[in-house]
Structure 1
């Protein structure tokens, strides 16, 4: 008996969680995947959504997986040093990072997103005593009080999230973190600077409905340190350096010019709040 698929009613920014889910599921089927995500494959087969419209999306599919792999690697390194940390993933969507990292025995792992996203997440990803969901906006502060109550080091992860909000909202988020937490490590991706306001040129986003717009990036990541004296940019990855030969030569050609290397590259950033 065939199981009835779950209809997705996600729109605008929440709908973008389905693109990253698809990207990881497709990657898992490759003979030489950058990362494996069996949970993504399982979930994608249970959602009633037209994923076929992404069939010819090559660059963003690969980009999503490079991004996820780099963040996964940074998270593993952090947890190897701080196995009793508290981890919270903001804008978690349907991402199964907790499972991909082998269900680490952290003090607690939270996955936070808006109510409509968490309602869908709970259909596919089972909560445990160590891994639970929070149904709220990341711009609220209740989650900060919750993670700080453990008295442990905190790892905050944002993947495919900040690009959809204006700079004043991004600054407000980091201001709240600085105000509420004595220390924290934040892992996030930063959109290619030249794509701000150009979502219609994006090979994946242009195939979706209206509502998700690219609103934020910085040319120089270090500018974030001017927002608060406690913010310190410790690591920055330029994603074209980590494609393992998958991007074609013509994609790399303009990146040999420093002007385009910084403006066209998406970045993974590690910030420490001290």
Structure 2
């Protein structure tokens, strides 16, 4: 067994690992992640504390499934792409997608997360890891060096940083890329400042807080003329009846639909 000793933010990657492993047991699974089911058995950690968090468990899998689908769509159109996951944790998307024959697939995270990842998921010639903060922009040069279409995936990460830092991050990407697609999730707007009400996050680091979301995703287009919103998916439309009935009723009201819904967003840098 591998003992998991992670600081607050990297510990959140165990929530999504648990969610996907649980989902894989279901006959009606939103996604199947056999690698997550395998990995969870190798980590010494009290996953039982998440057992009642059914809303977040389903939400993690709706989110991952939507990002998987959009990734496949991008790769269908750009089979020679370079893909990088920022804040990859121990997500096995490359494995889950049957090791797509891209030019290269990078997974980036902080040192303690990559150290654990290397014990659980082997690198390969086509899929390698980068130990770095996403805000240290050396990774952009690595990705651009291939001269291929670029897909940047950021899942379960952006909500933990201040709005000014997120805006500066996207401005930096616009400065460094002339052509790139970014897939990411947008926290439900109503949750900003309310991490202690979240059914799984309250079980991990007490110093973590939800800091960033936007009520209107199109606001991001005003940050830089190179940013264009291509698609956004309100997750309640894709839950297949898995979200609690109380929330499914609330989502019928436009005010709550916009403020209490998480989104998956696809932006393009032109």
TM-score (norm 1): 0.97
Q: Secondary structure at the match of 2:183?
A: strand
Q: Secondary structure at the match of 1:219?
A: coil
Q: Secondary structure at the match of 1:185?
A: strand
| Aligned equivalent of 2:88, options 92, 111, 116 | 92
Kindly indicate whether the alpha-carbon contact (under 8 Å) linking 1:148 and 1:180 is maintained by their aligned counterparts in 2: no
Match of 1:212 in 2: 208
Q: Secondary structure at the match of 2:265?
A: strand
Please, which runs of 5 or more residues in structure 2 have no aligned partner? Answer: none
Match of 1:145 in 2: 141
1:58 partnered with 2:87 = no
Cα-to-partner distance string for 1:58-82 (whole Å, 9 max, x where unaligned): 0000000000000000000000000
| Aligned equivalent of 1:11, options 4, 7, 11 | 7
Cα distance, 1:209 vs. partner?
Answer: 2.6
Kindly indicate whether the alpha-carbon contact (under 8 Å) linking 1:139 and 1:172 is maintained by their aligned counterparts in 2: no
Cα distance, 1:250 vs. partner?
Answer: 1.8
1:175 partnered with 2:208 = no
Match of 2:78 in 1: 82
Match of 1:239 in 2: 235
The count of residues paired between Structure 1 and Structure 2 equals 270
Q: Secondary structure at the match of 2:251?
A: helix
Cα distance, 1:211 vs. partner?
Answer: 2.4
- Structure 2 distance, partners of 1:81, 1:154, is 12
Match of 1:129 in 2: 125
- Structure 1 distance, partners of 2:252, 2:137, is 42
Q: Secondary structure at the match of 1:269?
A: strand
Cα distance, 1:249 vs. partner?
Answer: 2.5
| Aligned equivalent of 2:259, options 249, 257, 263 | 263
Match of 1:185 in 2: 181
| Aligned equivalent of 2:100, options 93, 99, 104 | 104
Q: Secondary structure at the match of 2:181?
A: strand
Poorly superposed stretches of 4+, deviation over 3 Å? none
Cα-to-partner distance string for 1:3-40 (whole Å, 9 max, x where unaligned): xx111110211100000000000000111100000110
Cα distance, 1:148 vs. partner?
Answer: 0.6
| Structure-to-structure mapping, 1:21-60, within 5 angstroms | 21-60=17-56
- Structure 2 distance, partners of 1:220, 1:81, is 28
- Structure 1 distance, partners of 2:30, 2:250, is 24
Cα distance, 1:90 vs. partner?
Answer: 0.2
- Structure 2 distance, partners of 1:247, 1:179, is 39
Cα-to-partner distance string for 1:209-256 (whole Å, 9 max, x where unaligned): 312210000000000011110000110100000011122322211111
